[in-house]
Amino acid sequence: MEVQVPDIGDFDEVGVIEVLVKAGDTVKVEQSLITVESDKASMEIPSSAAGVVKEIKVKLGDKVAKGSVILSLESEGATAPAPAPAAPAPVPAAAAPVQAPAAATYSGNADQAFDLVVLGGGPGGYSAAFRAADLGLKVALVERYATLGGVCLNVGCIPSKALLHVAAVMDEVNHMADLGVKFGEPEVDIDKLRAHKNKVTGKLTGGLAAMAKMRKVTVLRGVGSLLDAQHLKVEATEGAVGQAKTGAVQTVAFKRLIIAAGSQAVRLPFLPDDPRIVDSTGALEMQVEAEKMLIVGGGIIGLEMGTVYSTLGSRLDVVEMLPTLMTGADRDLVKVWQKFNAYRFDNIMLNTKTVGAEAKPDGIWVTFEGEGAPKEPQRYDLVLQAVGRTPNGKKIGAENAGVVVTDRGFIPVDVQMRTNVPSVFAIGDIVGQPMLAHKAVHEGHVAAEVIAGELLGDEKLKKSQFDARVIPSVAYTDPEVAWVGITEDEAKAKGIKITKGLFPWTASGRAIANGRDEGFTKLLFDEESHRIIGGGIVGTHAGNMIGEIALAIEMGADAVDIGKTIHPHPTLGESLGMAAEVAHGSCTDVPPVRKK
């Protein structure tokens, strides 16, 4: 039998961003088959029947709509009941057609009551709590760890950048020898470096605690779990690190709840428990001196951490199941990064899987399978697992409130960040890809505004929506790789006709002066409307510049708008104006276009 896309609400067509099963898999009724994404939300499409997958009929990047065939199944007979409609929401919901669990009812007393309780103090959670407090709500923020800031400030964006900055300076100094200035060999004091990283995160998380106080946001330290759609249990925790429970428990009542409980690193089940096998949090601790390091997973997080370790002296191998590193970015951008970084790697294993590992006294011996797999197990001093992050949706008692959580732990929401339960909202990593701090923050603001609008009767706030056209991505490697909107590879795959403006940094005065002209800036315009729909930059500081392309896309700018905007000279940012001029045919900093 054929399994089709059911009615997915208000969307004509949505893109397939993940295929979660393969031919030969046995699937159950309601098991997620694919993830689709519109410009407003992502959702998983469950199977309407049980059976063995015969053939997958969709691939990444395909557009699907109601009735599109996802796969064919050798049926086992069981067919799902018609999906339950989502609970009424003010905006057409992109909630996944998954059966909502029956909600519990808590009949005990509450120790404290708030307009809004936010579960999770990461970038999404604290931004939502602070915005709601600024708008006049009585707010509590529940966080299990000692400091606010979540993954991003404590063990993610910020500590990784503190280390990447040090690595970038070390690499830059190395390169100075070519320019006539020679420094001595660096001496690394790893304890001091770790202390510096901790000081950076401490400064920021301390600042958050102070800002929570200034806003009169009540911070409750403990593990929160839902009792029903109006009550949260908080089990108090203590200690500078970890989440050791003290035994004290309190119940807080809320008019609205925002779930911002984030995600955690995926652990490969077949890897042994050994201090030499770490995730990104372990890698940031820099406890293992690694002559030879394996990065499992060639995504941004793995490659950023690899850059740090390599600069500090490790030789790198990387293994990636997909055919490319840094999936998601255009190949031409990645190629520049790869060429510049080739010296760091002994072996880049693509289309290859890690299938086993053995912890021995002399190292971790890892076995691979696939196109790039060495025949014999390989020895490593350190193995970094960076194969993605999984949402915490199944660990917070969401079912007690009747909140839908997908098989993989994501919580579907509508464009106002509301779940299927009217009093419960969700934001950040827990609602889906891309798992990025800047997305979480914006979603947090939307949820806070909608809630304040409802509770304070403000019609304008009530209409707040997450309607960003694009969300930029950045790999803070050296050089940096940044992209936003449609990529060139995606445009090709989807048959979208584009006009491209590419400005090579070999023509940028500033890049040449910096001795770093390996990069380029690329802008993509829709051939019909002439509006900018995407762009990518590879080069130093690319991440600091990508915001301008995002703004141009949001504003519907064309090549003339960008090209005629005067950018200061000589800057790397100037390359954006030049790339627009290239697309327009008016750039005088590159060789003339040959007349046809």
Catalytic residues: 569
Rg for the chain (alpha carbons), in Å?
25
State the nearest-atom distance from the C-beta of 535 to ligand FAD, in Å. 18
User: DSSP string covering 515-581, please?
Assistant: T----EEEEEEETTT-BEEEEEEEETTHHHHHHHHHHHHHHT-BHHHHHHS---TT-STHHHHHHHH
How many whole angstroms separate alpha carbon 572 and alpha carbon 517? 10
- Report the C-alpha gap between 32 and 10 in whole angstroms: 20
Mark 93-122 with x for binding to ligand FAD (rule: CB under 6 A) and - for no binding.
--------------------------xxxx
Which listed residue (71, 96, 157, 470) binds ligand FAD by CB under 6 A?
157
Nearer to ligand FAD, 58 or 300 (CB): 300
Nearest approach in angstroms of CB 7 to ligand FAD is: 29
Contact positions with ligand FAD (CB under 6 A) in 212-231: 223-225
Phi, psi of 19 (to 5 degrees): -110, 120
Q: Are 535 and 483 in contact (CB under 8 A)?
A: yes
Element containing residue 286 per DSSP (H, E): none
Query: Does 280 participate in binding ligand FAD (rule CB under 6 A)?
Result: yes
Q: How far is the CB of 547 from ligand FAD (least distance, A)?
A: 12
Instruction: Describe the crossing of helices 157-176 and 300-311 by its angle, rounded to 10 degrees.
Output: 40
User: First-to-last CA distance in the chain?
Assistant: 54
C-alpha 94/C-alpha 277 separation (Å) is 39
Question: Would you count residue 464 as binding ligand FAD (CB under 6 A)?
Answer: no
Classify burial at 21, counting beta carbons within 10 Å of its beta carbon; exposed 0-12, middle 13-18, buried 19 or more. Answer: middle
Among 73, 116, 401, 437, binds ligand FAD (CB under 6 A): 437
> Which residues from 369-428 bind ligand FAD, rule CB under 6 A?
392, 396, 428
Stretch of residues binding ligand FAD (CB under 6 A), selected from 131-139, 145-153, 203-211, 289-297 = 145-153
Which residues within the stretch 159-188 sit at the binding site for ligand FAD (CB under 6 A)?
160
Q: Which stretch binds ligand FAD (CB under 6 A): 146-154, 189-197, 291-299, 519-527?
A: 146-154
Binding ligand FAD (rule: CB under 6 A), the pick from 62, 115, 143, 228 is 143
- Stretch near ligand FAD under the rule CB under 6 A, chosen from 42-50, 78-86, 211-219, 435-443: 435-443
What lies within 8 Å, CB to CB, of 199 at 6+ separation is none
Least separation in angstroms between CB 21 and ligand FAD:
26
Strand bridging mode 244-259 / 352-360 = unpaired
Per-residue x/- track, 238-277, ligand FAD (CB under 6 A): ----------------------xxxx--------------
Q: Which of 93, 141, 142, 326 binds ligand FAD (CB under 6 A)?
A: 142
Q: Which of 114, 145, 368, 503 binds ligand FAD (CB under 6 A)?
A: 145
* DSSP strands (E only) in 260-362: 263-265, 277-278, 292-296, 315-319, 345-349, 352-360
Q: Which of 151, 415, 451, 545 binds ligand FAD (CB under 6 A)?
A: 151
Contact pick of 9, 51, 125, 573 for ligand FAD (by CB under 6 A): 125
What is the token pair recorded at 180? 């006539």
485 sits near ligand FAD (criterion: CB under 6 A)? no
CA 411 to chain centre: 15
Q: In a 3-state reduction of DSSP, which class is residue 279? A: coil
Instruction: Note whether 436 binds ligand FAD by CB under 6 A.
Output: yes
Task: Name the site residues for ligand FAD (rule: CB under 6 A).
Answer: 119-125, 142-145, 150-152, 156-157, 160, 223-225, 260-263, 280, 301, 392, 396, 428-429, 435-438, 440, 476
